[in-house]
Amino acid sequence: MDDLTPLRQLWLDRINTAADPAAIEEVRLAALGKKGEISLKMRELGKMTPEERQTTGRKLNELRDEIDAALRARKISLEDAALEARLAEEWLDVTLPGRPRPQGTIHPISQVTDEITAIFADMGFAVAEGPQVESDWYNFDALNIAPEHPARQEHDTFFMHRAEGDDRPPHVLRTHTSPVQIRAMQEQGAPIRVIAPGRVYRMDMDQTHTPMFHQIEGLAIGRDISMAQLKWTLEEFCRAFFEVDEVELRFRASHFPFTEPSAEVDIRCSWDGGQLKVGQGNSWLEILGSGMVHPKVLQAAGIDADEWQGFAFGLGIDRLAMLKYGIPDLRAFFESDLRWLRHYGFAAGDVPSLSGGLTA
């Protein structure tokens, strides 16, 4: 076989003049591909004598390796040059002042939930959670809500779809967080002190009602718990939440299936220029419902009603947020209006604590 020096120089020149990775690939195929010039010369080795094959084969292998190494080096060089050009084009002066980003805010619902949780945590209440899709038993039966109760009708409650012929118990979007109390009593037994915050769902929509809203319900079970302790607990909560020295609560007899006796709770207040002032004035404002846990509810949760008793209460988080922070329309809570969120939202560092002040 002739001297391979001209062939070597030919391909090295073509490699050096390749301007981009695509051109490098063309050179590689033309030289080392199955039908490339060097590959075709390798096939000619079979026609040579053993002595020629040994000498020429070694030279061709050396040439192939050299060409392959040159191709790889040229490809890396081109890629590095392209990267440098891109970096130069996209160069950013990091010494320039940064553009301020809009700051996010904590939603009033989240803030008020944390405030209420901090207050009851200071009284020894733990936080309990449960599913938002509940069985009919947990949402109604275990809470002594009769089958004919209006809340169990489809015009008042969101029932989950069931296929025709499905005989499993119906499920609903929970209408209150009271089912969490049943689950907590089943899991922990008595004595127990818990609050249950979360979303609840009812078919209602106007300025002060939405189909989805938020509640915190509280439960305390012990051997000697009374209405007097319930009254003290709610007074201390209102004093801490509204950040006033004195509050006056009024308990009005009412009816809830899951408590007996039951009471609606009003707080003394005044409306001065449309602004709520708690603890003074001649007006009363309903803020929550409460009562002593019905014995049937205790029995459904597996607790001996002859040995244990307790109280329960329920607070509307959205309503309390509206009252405390002067928010006029409940529907705005769910509209994701950034202007509204910036106005009523809280900074990320505004973590509620009793020692530092809830709204400090």
- How many CA within 13 A on the CB side of residue 127? 14
CATH architecture of 108-160+167-344: 2-Layer Sandwich (3.30)
3-state secondary structure of 272: strand
Looking at the DSSP bridge assignments, the partners of residue 217 are 196, 314
For the chain, strand residue ranges (E) read: 126-127, 133-135, 171-173, 192-201, 212-222, 249-256, 259-272, 275-278, 283-293, 309-316
- Is the bond preceding 179 in cis, omega lying within 30 degrees of 0? no
Cβ contacts of 348 within 8 Å, gap of 6 or more:
104, 105, 106
Residue 70 tokens, joined = 């040159």
Global confidence as pTM: 0.67
Q: What is the pLDDT along the chain (360 residues), one digit of tens a residue?
A: 456 788 888 888 888 888 888 888 888 888 888 888 888 888 777 788 888 778 887 888 888 888 888 888 988 988 888 888 888 888 777 787 777 776 788 899 999 999 999 999 999 999 999 999 999 899 999 999 888 887 777 777 888 887 777 777 788 999 999 999 999 999 999 999 999 999 999 887 666 667 888 999 999 999 999 999 999 999 999 999 999 888 999 999 999 999 999 999 999 988 877 778 888 888 899 999 999 999 999 999 999 999 999 999 999 999 999 888 888 888 888 888 888 888 888 887 777 776 555 665
Residue 81 tokens, joined = 């040059």
Domain ranges for the chain, please list them.
5-89, 108-160+167-344
Is there a contact between 242 and 256 (Cβ–Cβ < 8 Å)?
no
- How many CA within 13 A on the CB side of residue 120? 24
What's the Cα-to-Cα distance from 142 to each of 80, 94, 136, 227, 344, rounded to whole Å?
A: 71, 63, 9, 22, 39
Residue 7 tokens, joined = 């062939």
Name the phi and psi angles at 70, rounded to 5.
Answer: -65, -40
Element (H, E) at 252: strand 249-256
State CA 317 to chain mean position distance: 18
CA distance 267 to 80: 74
